[in-house]
Every structure is written in C-alpha cells, then in structure tokens.
Structure 1
C-alpha cells in the first residue's frame, strides 16, 4: 500500500505490496475548516475538540487501513477564525504564512477553492497558498486579467497517479481524477476584488466539460470536489449556488465531496425532501457523497473497492461507501508544536482593538429590557443586509426588514454572571463574549401571521412577576437563546395574558403582510422549534459568520464608535 505518514511534522511515503487485482481506495476530505487549525477557541481562551491538529490523527488512522488514499481539502480554509484574521494582518510583514507548511505536513493531495478564499483579494489568496505542494482546483473559475493570471494558478482538474505494487514485483497504475467547482455567486459577494479580473461560469457547465476532459485524459475514477451544497428542506434540487443535486447527475462521476453549508452528510435530514438523496447511506443519485461539517470537527471518507480487469485493461468499482467520522481529543503534537509561534501571535492579536464603544455594552438585563449590547447585534445584522440589498435589487429587499436576536449570556438573577464590555476599545475577544456561537446570517421571508407567532413564542420566556423584583419576570427554565428580541418594530409584552395573546405591536401587524427577518442560521433552520420555522422560509443565506459581521460593523463605524443612544422599542407591560 501507499500512504503518507507524519513524523515530527515531516511527510514521507511508505509502500507495501498488495494484490493489484483488488484494492481499497480511500478518499479523505475536509471542508469549511474556516481557519480552525489549532484546536483552541481564541474567543473563550480554551481548548476545543476541533481543528486540523485533531483531524490529522484521524487522517493517519484512516490512511493506515487503506491500500491507497488521497486527502482533499474542499475550500473555505483561509477565512473564518482569529487565526486566519491574524494571518491577514501579518501578510504584509510575514513571508511565508503558516498555511503551506501545515498543509504539506498533513499531506494534502489537492485543494479546491471555496467562496471565502476570495474575501481578501487575489493577491492575498496567492500569498496564503504560496508553497503548498498540492494542486489547487477550480473548473469554473477563469482568470481574465493579467493581475488575476499572476495570482491564480489553479487547474480545472488534476489526475493523481498511484502505483500499486503486486506480488510479481510489477506495478499497476490507478489514475484518480479530481474536478473542482465553486459557487458563481463569488462575483456578487466579493465583487470589489473580482470584477474585471475573473469570470465564473455555472458549475454544471464547467463540471460537465472537466469530467469529460479528465476521463479522456485517462482517469480510472473521478471524484467531484464541489464547494457547494444542496437545497435544504425542499423537493426542488435546482439551485445555482447549491448545485450538488444537479451535478450528481453528470455522467462519469464516481464520488462527490461537497460542502459550503456546514452540514454533516451522511447523517443530516435537511436534504431528505430531494429525490434520489439517501441521507443514511450517503448517496446522491447512487453516487457516494460526503460533506464533513465545519471547523475540522469531522473527516469525510469515501471508500471504493476496485478490481483490475486484465480483459478490460482497467479498474472496475466493486463496492463504494460514504461515511463521516468525528474527531477525538487526540492531537498530532508535531503539528501543535509547528503551529505554536502563530498560535501565540494569534493570542496576542486577539487583544488588539477592532473598534470602540461610547459606553458599556451589557447583557445583564437583556431578558427584561432592551440593552445596547443587543442593539449593537441588531444594528450590525441590519447594516450587513442593507449593503446586500443595495447591491441586489431582489423582490425581498423591498419588504419591511426586521432583525431577530437572542441574548446568549444574560443574567437570570442579581447574582448571575453576564456579558459586559466596558466603554472604550472593543477587542476581538470582546466580540466572542458578546456573540458566543459560530452562526451565520440568514434572511427569512415570513407573513405577518408567522411573525406574530414568533413574537408570542419569544414572549413565553417571560412570566408574571412583581413590581419590586425585576428578576421575577423571567421564566428561568427557558434558556436565554430562546428569547428572541426584535428590531424594526415597536412592541410590548404582557405576561399576565395567555401565550398567544401577550404581544401588542405598533403599528398592528397585518397577517398577510410579508416581512424579511434577519436572524441566525440556527433559528432560521428550525432551531428552538419557534414559529414553525424549518428552513423553507430562507430567502438568503450569508456566507459570513455573525461574529465577523460584528467586527466589520465596528470597523465601519470608525473613530466615532458605537453610540450610547438606546432605542426602547420593546418593553414588558407590568401594569
């Protein structure tokens, strides 16, 4: 067998004789790592069981039990964490950046580009990947300017040749073709970096051409490496951004690695409405497919048993399977040591201010009254979507817009701890305290009738209290993340009324009116079982985490910082 091993951070090749007539080919995949390399949460300042230092141990275990293996990275690698924020900040003074050494040490065989690779421009993209030994893939991305051609070195496909030694001291070669694609929407999301420099064609057209080309070039087996997902909670599989359902119907594909949506497949049920998708076996139109979640918490695995047919002078797939494995607490200590200097630099980087606030931002009373801390999150969400609306004249952008946010670290009693950011400089660590989950932003279109139910469900987190005890109004068995507050509408909650009749709005909500509500992906996809939200109401899914939206919003505010003016748009009726 041929496989890579990592010893003291050095990659080596080992061969063992196997029967060429029948072999196990294992394709290993990471996707949507978003800069989670070190297994450390830089917001909470605590270790966590994710990141490539943990995935590396699982990778080695899986390599060791296969005759032949490949390791593929499927995009959104260089953005999304304090570590990658540090890399961007260090790019002007540090060369090389730590990414190439990391990928080479783990032994990646190919890297597909995702949408977030373009967030910082083409020059940074090329610097981040400088020195990576693995080929970079994208079949539907085309450089059109001399600047882009200077910084983009990707290929539409690659064939990786693996020699299989047999007992007769001869070798047989298996050619594994890899084809990469990414969402064409990068031309909208990062237009300021990409306009007049690149062209992105539809994924299906590019993949169809590249799959044929790689087959014609001699590939025995072809893996589609697609930084795209599938429509959720829907029976309609056609989508220009989430294109795997259509791509899986292309002739000539043997396996699929996909991502972009941060789901774990096989295992999730969000795609069960689609025809020919088996979320338990992990197949799409009978083709084994994996999506390995987010933050290097899982490793995607495609297994093929192949037989070499002398009559056909080629390889035949005898069996195929897809699975996803969760990483464990075991770490690759050689990688930990290798990343230590950049890790310590990131810890220091987190203490740097990214903006400031004119007064204290506290969530102490967020369960019983509006607070500036919650208002900041609302304002950042609406600011982000306002920018999108200005750039995209879509029907939903004309609807009344609201923001829905729940407090994560509010007090339930006078003795409880809570988030509090003092007036003045705001650091990256403060942002992690204010918004504690790696949620992304979604926009839902709901009717006034659904909005009323949403408001009432949130109001169920309160109870009738006494005027001399402000904490008595909180129903403490309902967690704070279930208490959504809303910006963009005035309302009051009367806990003395039965649930369903507690909320009065001004002006009164019309049942037939439609609203665009900006919220996090957890709530939008049905998290918390509120208002029958199930993902079907989502009209837009942002590629950005809310933590990073908050950072960009504070940077946008500049020297004036976040103002001290509180909008009292909701209250508890205590009469």
Structure 2
C-alpha cells in the first residue's frame, strides 16, 4: 500500500548525486476538498465517486510510477460537508477529530491554508489540524496577537528533502536527494470574509509580495525545485490578469517558480477554457507563462499531477529540469478500502449527527427551480433572516432599524438543467442534515445599510445570472456562466426581471426603489464584506454583525414554529418577464 511512502528522505540539505541518470519527480495535489473524505453523499445517503477515499487510489498509482513524489493539499479542506459539520460539533464536545490520522495516513508532505479554513475561528483551525505531521503553509498570513500565535503554526515556505535509489544504473545503488521548496499563499480577502474571527489577531499582505519574498528565501535555503502552492485562481473570461483575490496570473511571473498548484475557483486546469482570454495561459497543456500548473477541481474528484524529469549536472553542481508537464486525472469508482475503514467511526458519527430532528415543514423544500422562480426553500431562509433581525430590532431600537428592510439570499444548490442534482427536503421532520443541505456554508448574518442607487445595482448584478430564454425550455433562462451563489434573490419587495434588457435596466420593483433613500438589507457576511464583487459592497456598509451562523438561525427559527412547522404558502414576490 501507499502508506510506505510516508517517510521523507533523511539527509543533509545539500543536493548530492553520483550519476547523471534522470529522475522522475511527481508533484501531486488536491485542493478544495471541502470535507469530502469518505466517498459518501450524506444528503442522498448513497456512495459517490468523489472524496479522498477515491483520490487515494490515484495517489497510489501516481506514486508507484515515479522515482520521487510530493503530495500537497491546497486548502479549503475543513469546511463544506456534513462530515466537517460533525467535526465542528465533536470539537465542542472535546472529542478527538479524525483529520490528523487521515492526512498522516495518506502521507501529505504539506498543507496550504485556504480561505474556508478560517470560517470557524483560529481555535478550531488549530484543533482540526492538531497532530498533522505535515507542515502548514501560508506566506502572506501573519499572526499578530498572542491568541493567533498560540493557535497558528504555519510557515511561509518549507523545503522537503526527497531521496531515491536509482536502481536503473548498472552496478550502482546511489542515493540522490532533491530539495523541493513549497511556498503557500491565500487570498487577503479572508480579513473581510471572516473579519469577526480575524480582526486584531492576524494580518494578510498581498500575495505577490509575500510569495516573491518566500520564493527567494526558499532558493537561498537550498531549494532545487520551487512549487507555488496558491489557494487562489485567475480572472475568468477576460484579458485582464491582475486581481487581488484571483492572483495566479501575476504570481506566475515571479522568478524562481518551477510549478504551480492553484485552486479556490473549483475549476479543472488544464482542461477548462475560462482562462483562455489571458495572455500566456495554455489551458490545453496546463501552463501559465510556461510554468506547469494544475487546479484539481473540487471535492476530491480530481488529482493534479505535475511531472518533472530532472538530471543532476556535475558541471553546474545543480539539478536541471529536462522536461515538465501538467495534467489532472479524474477519480473512478475505485476507492481505498483501508482508508474507508479508518474513517468508519467518524462516518457513523456523521450519520447519527445528521439525523437529529430540529423542526417540521408542511411542504417539500426544494431548490430545484430557485434559479428561475421563488421557492419555499429560499423563502424559508429569507423568513428566518428577517425573523432574526426583527427580534433584534425590537430589543435594540436604532436608527437603521426604522429603515425599509429587505433580505438577500442566493441558492447554493439549485438545478441548472433538468438532469442536475438539487436540494430537496421532504415535507415532515427537518433534521440537522437537512439544514446543512439547505444552507451549505457557515456564514454569519450581517445587515448592510445602502442607498437606493446601490440597492438597484445589487438587483441588476443579480439579474446577470439570467439570460433571454424560450417558453419551451425553462432552463434556457439561466446564464450558467454565473454560479448560483451569485444569484441573490430578495424578500421584502416585489420585482420582475426582464432578461431581454441590458444589465442596468432589467429589474422593475414595486414599490419603486428611490435612489436617495436608505435601505437595510439582511445578508450573509461573505456578501456584506465584498464577496462576489456585488454592487460595491466592501464591508464599510455593515451596520450590524450577528455572532450566529445562518445555519443556526435556521435551526432556531424552525424550533420557534413549534409543532405546526413551516407553512406551505409560497409568496410569489418576483418573476422573470417572459413576454
């Protein structure tokens, strides 16, 4: 089994070689796994071909055919599934968490931090990774408070020495050592998205500045090969490569980088065409400015692989890259049964965690059509958000509590076609698992105060998620280039969207929004702090930040409804103008 690859070479940091034979160095990467470990869908209660239990099979195969391999995790690992929801609950009960044994068994050489690592705060982050033998990376994240220094143990870069015995050389059994430098970065926007956890504890500098400094330091410390491990992507459908959140295009131009692992956007690279507008990006062969690069999708469905053939030059006294290539491989139905068995206790605990009932619904809560019409599922979230803030306003009368109040919510798991999966909760008891399916992120609730002009822009930005369709095909009205989490719907006002009009003139509201009027909008902390670049929201408009996650607000709201549960009456407050 691949567990035998756990031990890195033990040697001095200087590279040595006694022959000129080529060595295959293989960089393996996962990214944006979002808690998909077991290959089991906790919502459908069925196995699925995704998750690290399946990725592990590809890892074993890739390692077996390389002289040296390095396995890297690129962030957004500990949030996003019922399994990780169970982990959060288990941590509160001081139970042992399964992540360390999982990563150690798989033999990860390094773990880069992503933005979602901070969703539950620094103390939980520390608890989740406790016992993980691999170093934690982030060059642009800095601990400022004693609390942060207590719970963060990341490094800007690490150098991993790897050894191989090249048995292909006749009459020789020589140990070769290659020092592989790994530099990690993450989006500075975590200071907006998780400000309630991070303010006064950490700071984040621009990725380019930190990465350039760390790459240089890694080279000076003896790295033969340097891999940028970046939890960030590149701008899509544009020729403009500069972006403070999606920074790979700029990062690739730093001297001294040999390969790039990237993520954050859940794309598969090479293979996607979303970056084809960018200069020096080869989406077919997987290079950015000639550097091999991979982005291995989401949920452990793909493994990123960068291959180097390297040769030690006695004349130059250094390793030289003879060839390089990048690819991604999709998992199959095969899974690592030893890993499945190892995770079985946590898997069973997750199943039990999911079955806890917390309320009742009189009708099915479905997000199937949430991209094209109002649904009870979305209405429930709107009602819970407004209920929560109404209670706050009654107890804490302030100037903003007298303003017209709206709720903004986007569907996370709506269908884009007739064959797509979607959230659907049958009428009857609603469980914790149902809440996790209905609202899939640990966002907290914020209230922003905006002018009518900004609110109109918000409506129009959301309306870009639609396009002119036909009456024969209801799915044709969905602009699939815009993800569902960007399609904010609104409660507290009636409106219609005319996709035949240009953006800026699509939405008509009743009552009409007044440009100079101020409005209080209840939304999540991601959107309020600028997530998605909607209508100029940047955190400065926040007037109230709730300490509670929206998932927990939904639980509290359903419990407040008692035995009667959530009613079946749907309010059709918005529609697409199809005339």
Q: Note whether the superposition's TM-score is higher than 0.5.
A: yes
Q: How many residues align?
A: 509
- Contact 2:31-2:298 at 8 Å conserved across structures: yes
Aligned pairs (5 A) from 1:160-559: 160-166=160-166, 167=169, 168-353=172-357, 356=359, 359-363=362-366, 371-377=375-381, 419=424, 421-422=426-427, 425-429=430-434, 432=437, 457=468, 460-461=470-471, 478=475, 487-488=490-491, 489-491=493-495, 506=510, 551-555=551-555, 557=557, 559=559
What secondary structure does 2:355 align onto? coil
1:306-358 per-position Cα deviation (integer Å, ceiling 9, x unaligned): 111000011011111111110011100100110111101101111124x5467
- Contact 1:41-1:47 at 8 Å conserved across structures: yes
Q: Which residue of 1 aligns with 2:148?
A: 148
Instruction: Rate the CA distance shift 1:120–1:99 in 2: closer, same or farther, 3 A.
Output: same
Instruction: Rate the CA distance shift 1:550–1:119 in 2: closer, same or farther, 3 A.
Output: closer
Looking at structure 1, the residues matched to 88 and 29 of structure 2 have their Cα atoms a distance apart, in angstroms, of 25
Question: 1:208 Cα deviation (Å)?
Answer: 0.9
Instruction: Rate the CA distance shift 1:445–1:5 in 2: closer, same or farther, 3 A.
Output: farther
Aligned pairs (5 A) from 1:56-67: 56-67=56-67
Unaligned runs of 5+ in 2: 11-16, 390-403, 443-453, 525-531, 540-547
Q: Which residue of 1 aligns with 2:110?
A: 110
Looking at structure 2, the residues matched to 239 and 436 of structure 1 have their Cα atoms a distance apart, in angstroms, of 27
- Contact 1:179-1:222 at 8 Å conserved across structures: yes
Q: TM-score if structure 2 supplies the norm length?
A: 0.74
Looking at structure 2, the residues matched to 173 and 310 of structure 1 have their Cα atoms a distance apart, in angstroms, of 14
What secondary structure does 1:344 align onto? helix
- Contact 2:311-2:319 at 8 Å conserved across structures: yes
Instruction: Rate the CA distance shift 1:338–1:94 in 2: closer, same or farther, 3 A.
Output: farther
Looking at structure 1, the residues matched to 244 and 423 of structure 2 have their Cα atoms a distance apart, in angstroms, of 43
Looking at structure 2, the residues matched to 518 and 279 of structure 1 have their Cα atoms a distance apart, in angstroms, of 40
Question: 1:429 Cα deviation (Å)?
Answer: 3.0
Looking at structure 2, the residues matched to 295 and 41 of structure 1 have their Cα atoms a distance apart, in angstroms, of 11
- Contact 1:304-1:321 at 8 Å conserved across structures: yes
- Contact 1:428-1:551 at 8 Å conserved across structures: no
Instruction: Rate the CA distance shift 1:244–1:12 in 2: closer, same or farther, 3 A.
Output: closer
Q: Which residue of 1 aligns with 2:397?
A: none
Question: 1:122 Cα deviation (Å)?
Answer: 1.5
1:391-448 per-position Cα deviation (integer Å, ceiling 9, x unaligned): xxxxxxx9998666599589x9xxxx9945446654323653x57999xxxx999698
CA RMSD of aligned residues (A): 4.8
Question: 1:255 Cα deviation (Å)?
Answer: 0.5
Q: TM-score if structure 1 supplies the norm length?
A: 0.75
What secondary structure does 1:224 align onto? strand
Q: Which residue of 2 aligns with 1:525?
A: none
Question: 1:506 Cα deviation (Å)?
Answer: 3.8
- Contact 1:28-1:69 at 8 Å conserved across structures: yes
Question: 1:29 Cα deviation (Å)?
Answer: 0.2
Q: 1:5 aligns with which of 2, 10, 16?
A: 2
- Contact 1:19-1:165 at 8 Å conserved across structures: no
